[in-house]
Structure 1
């Protein structure tokens, strides 16, 4: 449903790091749930260190304790947990989390931490936020069950309007367990097809009849009406074609 909402490019997906105490936190959440544990840890730590009055954040301490537990850095995790045990709202959580220290079996059985341990990167490499699609691809290749990584990777190149890379990455979805092609992918695929074919015969993908009808009507208006840029957003504002061709 991504293109049903306003998109401002990849900055709305995984924003670049800003040295302040607020914006890195939601970005850190995305990295955390994707399985990019070290990047999530870095963003959280930098956000906390940017707090103007130099205080520490219990919420940041909680996330830093979790990333270190996942990474097996138990002494560091314990440092944060001991501090959280002295807080009002995180005391009970910290007491429970302390029971996971040095217990590999228990952490691996944890619904969230155990999953993130499985899908995180396991090899060292140079991380580049300028090539985020490649970073996401490495994450997905590490564990094909991480469908979120695949979806972020395709979302990233779609938002960049890079259909060449989209077509390169799309076949990797055969491992992702879809029972149908998501609508935004259908819209990108059918657009690419229309650039080199006069009709829809022979398309190798299961494109819904509705998407075929809509792209036909979109193309007719786009190529024949002088006021197309005013008419199309009202009817097709939630499509990838609107983002690709009409938005700056």
Structure 2
């Protein structure tokens, strides 16, 4: 039988001014949400993926919280080989260190991740001279430690803001797909319509996505050409446009050629 270990995530805020309750609460909620996301992606069972952080102890002096991970079923402490607190702490440390010192590998973060990590730092970012210490302990022994001061926190928040802005850019050069085959799923007859047109590029996704045209000439040729659009295949260049890292539309930037789909082709 594996011996249970007392594994804790310790958050210590050395503040110079009183911390606004909203900032502290939002910081802890963001930390908890990041933990749940980390567990859902990395845990090895359904029970483990539902684990949450709980407050084990609050100490006097600075703001010191000791958090533990418990299984959702029966509030059972995790065994050492199942514990994800250490992994989560490393995830946080690696992210902060990479963007602050350009060390290690860039983590794959979503805009929501950047916003939540930024919120974790709010209590010290707003308090000059303050600092936050994040550490993990196993049976009281320090396993991992990270210290950030208010200058670090402000720098990280500015970096995260820029990263979010870059992720919001819908058209990236590497998102251009050349000479792909597109067929219509639905189309509007009105040339002035800017909504309701959906197409499928099977080599990219079998799911119909919204269609946007780079110019009216392409739109006219595809919707009002000599052939029925629904029995025609189009060889096009498209830009994949994303919202929150998910493809939502194809922007057709060039029409190379088109041809009628034979009846035998449709049956295959």
- Give the TM-score, by structure 1 length: 0.31
Bigger Rg, structure 1 or 2: 2
Which is helix-richer, 1 or 2?
A: 1
